[in-house]
């Protein structure tokens, strides 16, 4: 995501939050699923000094990398030199990654499950970490089970990465807009039908400004869908868009119904409104988006009077939220320092570090109720409805393939035409399937 602060100001702000977290007291949370303390074992001899090279396609800046991950690793292992390669992105991985890999030997990739297809699998950088997990006695049972199972499914029973923090979707809303129009705030537990009915009440034109009741989060609506529908069928490798009936529900509730009136369609002449229209222009009343948005976009989110409730649910999956959306740290097939890389990753799943991430607003992956209760409590938004993140049961992670990101782009292009009323649902499904098959044929050749 874009950074809206200067590098120096951002690091100062993040370090200020870090200080608050330490003062608030995460003492007593030092063990973790694989730490010597947790296993009742003495620590082994200190590892040798090495350089560990990290990369990510998640647009994480070097300052954020240091505060969230690097500094904790350096504190534990001062002999490790960490180097982080930034500036990559999943959308441009095909053009940026080859040059990066020619110039660097990388040890650790960290990316969301949504970026792993383009930034790890597509370049055959994945390598099973099961041997290291067993050797280091990392207890995967202490981590979010769906995040672990999702990676096992991807790796054919192995583990290409360790989940370090999780994510899901919530529904953000602008309190000032609801107050302005005298409409009651959204509530936890709404269905998509109820949310869309509320969106229609909030969609209006005043003084030449079109206010939109609810926008769409197209990328995450597809990747994290609460019905766990994969983009490609794991058995056939074919697109599911026109063969799995559940897509009709996902596309209708999340993309067509919110814009099913003339005023709303005027707001998507070129693209779906984004966080800027919600935060800066303040003309979007509700916005489904990732739960860690306040942590990732803290300066932006300060500009609007917001709160959040649970993501709307489908009738087919009551009390079920989006599928889990973890960020994994993966030791690459290139790494010549697998032991040291594993030690570095272990630091990030200790209770101490999971508590730190949770207080900042990153959804912890450690199954610890006390750490969950800390979510957002060290941030500027501690008064928000953070309980919405855990109120519903997360859906299972859909199967992922290395072609997912490219197919997703094809789906999204067709979805915009559908939301604009230019094509009907059947046409969207046929067109998306046809274009996806053409891409797959070319890619496999």
User: What distance in Å separates the CA atoms of residue 166 and residue 370, rounded to the nearest whole number?
Assistant: 16
What value does the mean pLDDT of the chain take?
90
What single string gives the DSSP state of each residue in 288-318?
EEETTHHHHTHHHHTTS-EEEEEPPB-TTST
Q: What is the torsional sign of CA 153, 155, 159, 160?
A: negative
Percent of the chain residues past pLDDT 70, beyond the cut: 90
Burial classification of residue 16, based on how many CB atoms lie within 10 Å of its CB (0-12 exposed, 13-18 middle, 19 or more buried):
exposed
pLDDT of the residue at 34: 67
User: What distance in Å separates the CA atoms of residue 223 and residue 400, rounded to the nearest whole number?
Assistant: 9
With CA atoms as reference, report the closest residue to 396 among 229, 232, 245, 167.
229
Which two three-digit tokens encode residue 58?
């998640």
User: What distance in Å separates the CA atoms of residue 404 and residue 239, rounded to the nearest whole number?
Assistant: 10
* N- to C-terminal Cα separation, the chain: 33
CATH code of the domain made up of 169-323+397-444: 3.40.190.10
Q: 110: which strand partners?
A: 329
Is residue 51 within 8 A of residue 102, CB to CB? The reply is no
User: What distance in Å separates the CA atoms of residue 385 and residue 170, rounded to the nearest whole number?
Assistant: 10
- CA 52 vs. chain centroid, Å, equals 24
Q: Among 264-273, 351-360, 426-435, 436-445, which stretch is predicted with the lowest mean pLDDT?
A: 264-273
Q: Among 11-20, 87-96, 359-368, which stretch is predicted with the lowest mean pLDDT?
A: 11-20
361 contact partners, CB below 8 Å, separation of at least 6? 292, 294, 295, 375, 376, 379, 381, 386
**Percent of the chain that is helix, strand, coil (3-state, to 5):** 45, 15, 40
In the predicted model, is pLDDT for residue 24 greater than 50?
A: no
Tens digits of residue pLDDT in 212-269: 999 998 889 999 999 999 999 999 999 999 999 999 999 999 999 999 988 999 888 8
Tens digits of residue pLDDT in 289-314: 999 999 988 899 999 999 999 999 99
Q: What is the torsional sign of CA 263, 267, 272, 276?
A: negative
User: What distance in Å separates the CA atoms of residue 330 and residue 129, rounded to the nearest whole number?
Assistant: 8
With CA atoms as reference, report the closest residue to 104 among 178, 32, 51, 144.
51
In the predicted model, is pLDDT for residue 9 greater than 50?
A: no
Burial classification of residue 58, based on how many CB atoms lie within 10 Å of its CB (0-12 exposed, 13-18 middle, 19 or more buried):
buried
pLDDT of the residue at 15: 43
pLDDT of the residue at 144: 95
Is residue 354 within 8 A of residue 144, CB to CB? The reply is no
User: What distance in Å separates the CA atoms of residue 105 and residue 82, rounded to the nearest whole number?
Assistant: 13
Is residue 309 within 8 A of residue 286, CB to CB? The reply is no
Tens digits of residue pLDDT in 183-192: 999 999 999 9
Site of tokens 């199954």: 367
With CA atoms as reference, report the closest residue to 172 among 285, 4, 283.
285
Would you state the CATH architecture of domain 7-167+325-367? 3-Layer(aba) Sandwich (3.40)
Tell me the pLDDT band of 12, cut-offs 50, 70 and 90.
very low
pLDDT of the residue at 21: 45
Distances (CA, A) of 414 to 187, 420, 429: 31, 10, 8
pLDDT of the residue at 296: 86
Distances (CA, A) of 235 to 232, 248, 313, 327: 9, 21, 28, 25
pLDDT of the residue at 14: 52
User: What distance in Å separates the CA atoms of residue 377 and residue 356, rounded to the nearest whole number?
Assistant: 10
User: What distance in Å separates the CA atoms of residue 43 and residue 83, rounded to the nearest whole number?
Assistant: 26
Tens digits of residue pLDDT in 249-258: 999 999 999 9
pLDDT of the residue at 8: 44
pLDDT of the residue at 44: 62
Q: Among 103-107, 273-277, 435-439, which stretch is predicted with the lowest mean pLDDT?
A: 273-277
In the predicted model, is pLDDT for residue 395 greater than 90?
A: yes
Alpha carbons within 13 A on the beta-carbon side of 266: 12
Tens digits of residue pLDDT in 330-386: 999 999 999 999 999 999 999 999 999 999 999 999 999 999 999 999 999 999 999
Q: Among 41-55, 68-82, 356-370, which stretch is predicted with the lowest mean pLDDT?
A: 41-55
Tell me the pLDDT band of 45, cut-offs 50, 70 and 90.
confident
Tens digits of residue pLDDT in 158-213: 999 999 999 999 999 999 999 999 999 999 999 999 999 999 999 999 999 999 99
User: What distance in Å separates the CA atoms of residue 136 and residue 344, rounded to the nearest whole number?
Assistant: 12
pLDDT of the residue at 35: 55
Q: 101: which strand partners?
A: none
Name the DSSP class of 63.
H
In the predicted model, is pLDDT for residue 25 greater than 90?
A: no
In the predicted model, is pLDDT for residue 27 greater than 70?
A: no
pLDDT of the residue at 10: 46
Spans of all domains in the chain: 7-167+325-367, 169-323+397-444
Which two three-digit tokens encode residue 427?
């046409």
Which two three-digit tokens encode residue 281?
């222009």
Apex 59 CA angle, 87 and 385, nearest 5: 170
In the predicted model, is pLDDT for residue 32 greater than 70?
A: no
Which two three-digit tokens encode residue 345?
């990753």
Number of neighbouring beta carbons within 10 Å of residue 45:
5
């Amino acid at each position: 995501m874009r950074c809206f602060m200067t590098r120096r100001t951002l690091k100062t702000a993040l370090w200020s939050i870090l200080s608050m977290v330490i003062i608030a007291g995460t003492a007593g949370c030092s063990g973790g699923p694989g730490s010597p303390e947790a296993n009742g074992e003495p620590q082994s001899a200190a590892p040798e000094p090495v350089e560990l090279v990290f990369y990510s396609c998640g647009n994480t800046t070097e300052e954020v990398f240091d505060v969230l991950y690097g500094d904790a690793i350096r504190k534990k292992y001062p002999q490790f030199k960490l180097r982080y390669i930034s500036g990559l992105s999943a959308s441009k991985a095909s053009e940026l990654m080859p040059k990066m890999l020619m110039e660097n030997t990388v040890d650790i990739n960290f990316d969301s499950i949504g970026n792993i297809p383009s930034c790890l699998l597509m370049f055959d950088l994945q390598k099973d970490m099961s041997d290291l997990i067993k050797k280091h006695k990392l207890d995967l049972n202490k981590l979010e089970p769906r995040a672990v199972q999702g990676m096992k499914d991807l790796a054919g029973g192995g583990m290409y990465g360790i989940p370090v923090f999780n994510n899901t979707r919530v529904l953000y809303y602008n309190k000032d807009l609801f107050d302005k129009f005298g409409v009651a705030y959204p509530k936890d537990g709404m269905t998509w039908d109820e949310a869309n009915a509320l969106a229609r009440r909030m969609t209006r034109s005043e003084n030449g400004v079109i206010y939109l009741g609810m926008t769409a989060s197209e990328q995450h609506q597809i990747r994290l869908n609460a019905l766990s529908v994969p983009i490609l069928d794991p058995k056939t490798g074919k697109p599911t868009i026109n063969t799995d009936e559940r897509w009709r529900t996902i596309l209708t509730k999340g993309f067509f119904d919110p814009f099913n009136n003339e005023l709303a369609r005027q707001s998507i002449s070129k693209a779906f409104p984004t966080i800027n229209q919600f935060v800066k222009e303040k003309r979007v009343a509700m916005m489904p988006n990732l739960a860690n948005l306040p942590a990732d976009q803290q300066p932006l989110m300060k500009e609007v009077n917001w709160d959040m409730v649970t993501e709307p649910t489908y009738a087919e999956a009551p009390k079920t939220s989006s599928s889990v959306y973890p960020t994994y740290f993966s030791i690459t097939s290139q790494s010549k320092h697998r032991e040291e890389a594993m030690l570095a990753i272990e630091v990030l799943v200790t209770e101490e570090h999971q508590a730190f991430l949770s207080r900042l607003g990153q959804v912890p992956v450690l199954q610890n109720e006390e750490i969950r209760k800390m979510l957002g409590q060290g941030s500027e938004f501690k008064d928000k409805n953070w309980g919405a993140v855990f109120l519903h049961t997360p859906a299972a992670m859909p199967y992922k393939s290395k072609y997912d990101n490219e197919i997703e782009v094809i789906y999204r292009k067709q979805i915009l035409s559908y939301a604009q009323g230019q094509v009907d649902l059947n046409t969207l499904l046929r067109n998306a399937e046809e274009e996806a098959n053409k891409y797959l044929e070319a890619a496999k050749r």
